[in-house]
Amino acid sequence: MRDVVIGTAGHVDHGKSALVQALTGTDPDRLQEEKARGITIDLGFAHYRQGDTTIAFVDVPGHERFVRNMIAGASGIDAVLLVVAADESVMPQTREHFDICRLLDVDRGVVALSKCDLVDAEMLELVRLETEELLAGSGLEDAPIVPVSVRSGAGLEQLRAALAAVAEAPPRAADGPLRLPVDRAFTVRGVGTVVTGTLVAGEVRADMELEVLPAGRRVKVRGVQVHGRQQESAGAGRRVAVNLHGIDVDELRRGDMLAARGGFDTTRRFDAAVALLPGAPPLRHGARVRCHHGTAEAMARIALSAHKGVRDGAEDPTFLTALQPGGGAFARVRVEAPLALTRGDRFVLRAYSPPVTIAGGEVLDPLPPRGRFRSPRGLARLRRLAGAEGEADSLLVMVEEGGGHGVRRESLARRLGVSPASLDRTVAALEAGERVVAIGNRLAAPAALRVAKEALLDLIARFHAAQPLAPGLPREEARERLSRGAAPAVLDHVVAGLVAAGTIVATDHLALAEHSIELSPEETRTRDSLAELYSKAGLVSPDVVQAAEAVGSPPEQAARMLELLVRDGTLVKVEALVFHKECLDGLAAAVAQLKAQAEEPLRIDVGTFKARFGVSRKYALPLLGYLDRTRVTRRVGNERLVL
């Protein structure tokens, strides 16, 4: 079975609902007020089957007061049934509905000239010409125009044939995570909460766990219906009713989106390419507007960049103070309520007051990075996004702008609106072409890695110059100092590459491979003298000042040489004291010999240790702690048990 969703469009009282009822046998006006007033107020739904195709109608209100309901209905349609009454011709809401369809990129459809039984042939031909003039230059320019009459039935079969031809066109692309913009939510006795909408992407199945955005509320699918029939699952492009567990109907509203868990981010700002209608007033930079996306509506502010025609590499682009009618520009839309959208989504803008449709556009990036929007660099980024063809090009722009921090895979999938499997295929192809580098779940551009590598090597070289006797730049210091330019995982990847290339040596410190410690004759004398001094001092070692005086060196130089001796293992730092390694080894051997001479398990307290080795408490406590750490002894209360 094929499914096609067709939305009606046209001026109030031009016979849209009557035409849907004549085609389907179902009255789409379901509200009591609609029947009493004779006009459609909210969305109505009906369908019929023709061969192996189900044609589902979303009947929208034509009155200007209910245009936002019309936009909600038009957001999920495959084609439009534009209805023009033969006795009134093209009217204001005909034009606005048609503009909305153009802004939402609905380029398939059929035109019905309704109420043709009320006019003569000459009037009918005039209305046809006016309708053709309206359609000229649009995607519906070649759409069939069918005169019909609900009363007499004239033209209904021709209209069915035209609609069947529209349904034969290739279905719209529906890849990506599951999402269903909610256009109705209600309760069914004995069933519970039900939401309806047109499934934009993915497949919904019973027992799935989903989330309701923007609230992020987790829900479970109890059941799925398509055109009133229970189904195990339903695919993209179908009108569905979904029974939900875990949420009450009063917690849902039109504009919510039922989505795959973790498949989408909500945002309060997004970058877009905007087109202003020819008949609209100028759109000012900073203007407050009404933003319609899917079935949702949110107040928003528009920040304009420059015309989409500004050439690449422009040094001083002119940023707009206002977009003139019929023009197109890049814009940043800041919404006052969070929206769940992704790259490539269409949206409509209406003026704040009076609320008339003025513009629309396409989302370029639902989660733009921080940075100056109205700048040459910001404009260059927008132009690249607008010119990107396909998933790979868009991914490269986002990865490159991530710089040394890269971009997480899951974030990219949400921004691009693609499934993880599709993203993995794209990444694999880009990796094979050496255009991206995968670092765990993060993707980075090769150019960004080169920048990070150069920054790290420069940092190490400057560290060596400042501290030539140090073993190298501490790894954690490198991470901290380069944190603004590279994520820790990216830096680790760069380090591993430099080690593999033999450029650096990496332990807890990072050093250039050719780096070596070169001592002056005076430093060499101080080092050797200090080693001898501490060897002779035994367990009563001097502090730095005493040691410097003893060997006749400046304290700063003595401190550097002591650090060097500790680093090469000649000396050992024990808390605040320093001892020669051979003296500590001799201490351990002496304690072990005491145990060998004892007939029972040997215990040593501080007093015994001081007396036996001739040291004060200042030395005894650190030395006993050292013996504990090296597992020569184990502390038991105030004593040490020799192991």
> How is the chain split into domains, by residue range?
2-167, 179-260, 266-387, 390-444, 447-512, 522-643
Which three-class secondary structure state does DSSP give residue 416? helix
The answer for residues whose C-beta is within 8 angstroms of residue 266's C-beta and 6 or more apart is 213, 214, 216, 338, 339, 340
CA distance 369 to 381: 11
User: What is the DSSP-derived secondary structure letter of residue 251?
Assistant: G
State the chain's maximal CA–CA distance in angstroms: 128
Strand partners, 291: 298, 349
Q: Pick the most confident of 73-82, 188-197, 232-241, 450-459.
A: 450-459
Higher pLDDT, 487 or 643: 487
Q: Which fold is adopted by the domain 447-512? A: Arc Repressor Mutant, subunit A (1.10.10)
If you count them, how many residues does the chain have? 643
390-444 and 447-512, same CATH topology: yes
What is the mean pLDDT of the segment spanning 225-243? 90
Structural tokens at position 124:
């009918």
What is the mean pLDDT of the segment spanning 257-262? 94
**CATH code for the domain defined by 2-167:** 3.40.50.300
Which three-class secondary structure state does DSSP give residue 237? coil
pLDDT at 34: 40
pLDDT at 173: 62
CA distance 126 to 147: 12
CA distance 319 to 430: 34
Per-residue pLDDT reduced to its tens digit, 478-496: 999 999 899 999 999 999 9
Higher pLDDT, 43 or 418: 418
Rounded to a whole number, what is the distance in angstroms from the first to the last CA of the chain?
82
Band (42; pLDDT cuts 50, 70, 90): low
What is the mean pLDDT of the segment spanning 403-414? 94
Burial class (CB in 10 A: 0-12, 13-18, 19+), 588: middle
Per-residue pLDDT reduced to its tens digit, 501-526: 999 999 889 999 988 877 888 988 99
Q: Which CATH class is domain 522-643?
A: mainly alpha
- How far are the Cα atoms of 197, 217, 232, 234, 240 from residue 224, in angstroms, in the given order? 12, 19, 7, 7, 7
What is the mean pLDDT of the segment spanning 326-331? 95
Q: Domain 179-260 maps to which CATH number in 3.40.50.150, 2.40.30.10, 3.90.1140.10, 1.20.120.80?
A: 2.40.30.10
pLDDT at 30: 58
| 314 pLDDT above the threshold of 60 | no
CATH superfamily of 266-387: Translation factors (2.40.30.10)
Q: Tokens 């680790």 correspond to what residue?
A: 492
What is the mean pLDDT of the segment spanning 370-393? 90
- How far are the Cα atoms of 457, 589, 631 from residue 600, in angstroms, in the given order? 59, 18, 19
| 636 pLDDT above the threshold of 80 | yes
Q: What is the mean pLDDT of the chain?
A: 90
Q: Which CATH class is domain 390-444?
A: mainly alpha
